A = this chain, B = another copy of it.
Amino acid sequence: MRPASERRRELLDTAAEVFAAQGYDATTVRRIADAAGLLAGSLYHHFDSKESTLDEILSAFLDELLAGYATVLAAGLGPGETIQALVTESFREIDRHRAAVAIYRKESRHLQDQPRFGYLADARHRFETAWIGTLERGVTVGDFRADLDVRLTYRFVRDTVWVAASWYRPGGQHSPEEIARQYLSMVLEGIASRTRTRT
């Protein structure tokens, strides 16, 4: 682990920004250097390689996210409240690591086969356990509909949350908590009017 100097963190942020905008492979180190105001070779004073830069961005984000999830799960809430807390925590994470989330969504699929990025598959598996476990508990307890396909619902909720990173802009008119509230309202209660009762 390198010493995390101020300049280093700055470079890491601009790299993440460029990766998110252009895609990792489409991004050249010269492009990152341009955006940061130095020459390509100078980046190697701070980082070992382009790949390790990506690695650092992703693992920092995932560490924080998993820690947040762990806190929520340890709180001993009911299934419905746990889902709400997980969603809210996710939107906060999007707010703080917007670029990292975008990169994660675009690249994790084909990165996780690489040994170096094996932790991506680990993280994915932990998410799955957390969400699906909570959903199943919710169905048993009666918080959620009994006819749910839990795996399908998991993907539904997960994707719904994370895609927000592709259009969310921090400092906009909606706070993370506000967006979480609206999303939860749709996911939990649906968008159909309640004036017509279902059969």
Please give the residue numbers on chain A whose beta carbons come within 8 Å of chain B beta carbons, in ascending order: 21-26, 80, 106-107, 109-110, 142-146, 148-149, 152-153, 155-157, 159-160, 163-164, 166-167, 179, 182-183, 186-195, 198
Which of A23, A80, A107 has the most chain B CB atoms closer than 10 A to its own CB?
A23
**Contacts A155-B167, A159-B159, A186-B153 given; does A23 touch B110 at CB 8 Å:** yes
CA distance A187 to B185 in the complex (A): 11
CA distance A163 to B162 in the complex (A): 10
Contact call B144/A193, Cβ cutoff below 8 A = yes
Contact call B148/A191, Cβ cutoff below 8 A = yes
Contact call A194/B145, Cβ cutoff below 8 A = yes
Give chain A's interface secondary structure class: helix
Contact call B188/A192, Cβ cutoff below 8 A = yes
CA distance A149 to B182 in the complex (A): 8
Q: Which residues of the partner chain B approach A189 to less than 8 Å between Cβ atoms?
A: 190, 192, 198
Q: Which residues of the partner chain B approach A167 to less than 8 Å between Cβ atoms?
A: 155
CA distance A166 to B194 in the complex (A): 32
Contact call A145/B193, Cβ cutoff below 8 A = yes
> What are 11 of the A-B contact pairs (CB < 8 Å)?
A23-B107, A106-B106, A149-B182, A152-B179, A152-B182, A155-B164, A156-B183, A159-B164, A159-B166, A188-B190, A188-B191
Shortest C-beta distance, A105 to chain B (Å), equals 9
